[in-house]
Amino acid sequence: MRGPLVVLGDALLDVDLQGRAGRLSPDAPVPVLDSLVESARPGGAGLAAELAARAGHDVVLVTALANDPAGARLAELLSSRVRVVPLPFDGETPVKQRVRAAGQSLLRLDSGDRPGTVRPTERDLASVADALGDAGAVLVADYGRGVTSVEEVRRLLGSLTRTPVVWDPHPRGAVPVEGARLVTPNQDEAARFAARSGCADGDLDGLAALARQASCLVGAWRVHSVCITLGPRGALLSHGESSPVLVPSPSVPCADPCGAGDRFAVTAALAIGEGAVTSEAVLAAVASAAEFVAAGGAAAIGTSAPAAWTGRPGRPGGTGEVLVATGGCFDLLHAGHVATLRAARELGDRLVVCLNSDASVRRLKGPTRPLVPAEDRARVLEALEYVDEVVLFEEDTPVEVLRRIRPDVWAKGGDYAGADVPEAAVLREWGGQAVVLPYLQGRSTSRLVATAASAPRGT
- On the question of pLDDT at 303 being above 70, the answer is no
- On the question of pLDDT at 116 being above 70, the answer is yes
- pTM > 0.85: no
Q: How far apart are CA 301 and CA 335, in angstroms?
A: 36
Q: For 125-157, how does the pLDDT look when each residue is reduced to its tens digit (9 = 90+)?
A: 999 999 999 999 999 999 999 999 999 999 999
Q: What pLDDT is stored for residue 80 in this prediction?
A: 80
Catalytic sites, residue numbers: 262
> For the domain bounded by 5-22+32-300, which CATH number is listed?
3.40.1190.20
Q: Give the mean model confidence (pLDDT) for residues 166-188.
A: 96
Q: How far apart are CA 190 and CA 205, in angstroms?
A: 13
Q: What pLDDT is stored for residue 421 in this prediction?
A: 79
CATH superfamily of 316-450: HUPs (3.40.50.620)
Q: Give the mean model confidence (pLDDT) for residues 78-82.
A: 83
Q: How far apart are CA 59 and CA 65, in angstroms?
A: 17
Mean confidence (pLDDT) of the chain: 86
Q: What pLDDT is stored for residue 35 in this prediction?
A: 85
CB 337 within 8 A of CB 330: yes
The residue among 457 and 438 whose pLDDT is bigger is: 438
- On the question of pLDDT at 361 being above 90, the answer is yes
Q: What pLDDT is stored for residue 417 in this prediction?
A: 55
- On the question of pLDDT at 458 being above 60, the answer is no
Residue 63 pairs in a beta bridge with 86
CA dist list (Å): 10 to 145, 150, 263: 6, 12, 16
Q: For 382-414, how does the pLDDT look when each residue is reduced to its tens digit (9 = 90+)?
A: 999 989 999 999 999 999 999 999 999 999 876
Count the neighbouring beta carbons within 10 Å of the beta carbon of residue 138. Answer: 29
Residues in contact with 248: Cβ distance below 8 Å, sequence separation at least 6, in sequence order: 233, 234, 286, 343, 346, 347, 437
Q: For 251-265, how does the pLDDT look when each residue is reduced to its tens digit (9 = 90+)?
A: 877 767 888 999 999
Q: How far apart are CA 157 and CA 406, in angstroms?
A: 45
Q: What pLDDT is stored for residue 105 in this prediction?
A: 83
Q: What pLDDT is stored for residue 43 in this prediction?
A: 93
CA dist list (Å): 307 to 88, 107, 194, 255: 28, 14, 20, 11
Q: What pLDDT is stored for residue 243 in this prediction?
A: 87
- Are the folds of 5-22+32-300 and 316-450 the same? no
Q: For 411-449, how does the pLDDT look when each residue is reduced to its tens digit (9 = 90+)?
A: 987 655 555 678 989 998 988 999 998 765 544 555 554
Q: Give the mean model confidence (pLDDT) for residues 211-238.
A: 95
Residue 211: which H helix or E strand, with range?
Answer: helix 206-221
Q: What pLDDT is stored for residue 1 in this prediction?
A: 81
Q: Give the mean model confidence (pLDDT) for residues 15-21.
A: 89
Q: What pLDDT is stored for residue 317 in this prediction?
A: 33
Q: What pLDDT is stored for residue 68 in this prediction?
A: 92
Q: For 326-356, how does the pLDDT look when each residue is reduced to its tens digit (9 = 90+)?
A: 999 998 888 888 988 999 998 998 999 999 9
Residue type, 368: T
- On the question of pLDDT at 95 being above 50, the answer is yes
Inter-helix orientation angle 260-273/278-294, to 10° = 140
**Structural domain spans, the chain:** 5-22+32-300, 316-450
Q: What pLDDT is stored for residue 263 in this prediction?
A: 95
The residue among 205 and 223 whose pLDDT is bigger is: 223
Highest mean pLDDT of the ranges 103-107, 200-204, 277-281: 277-281
The residue among 458 and 118 whose pLDDT is bigger is: 118
Q: What pLDDT is stored for residue 203 in this prediction?
A: 64
Q: What pLDDT is stored for residue 199 in this prediction?
A: 78
The residue among 155 and 300 whose pLDDT is bigger is: 155
Q: What pLDDT is stored for residue 444 in this prediction?
A: 53
Q: How are beta strands 245-247 and 409-412 bridged, if at all?
A: unpaired
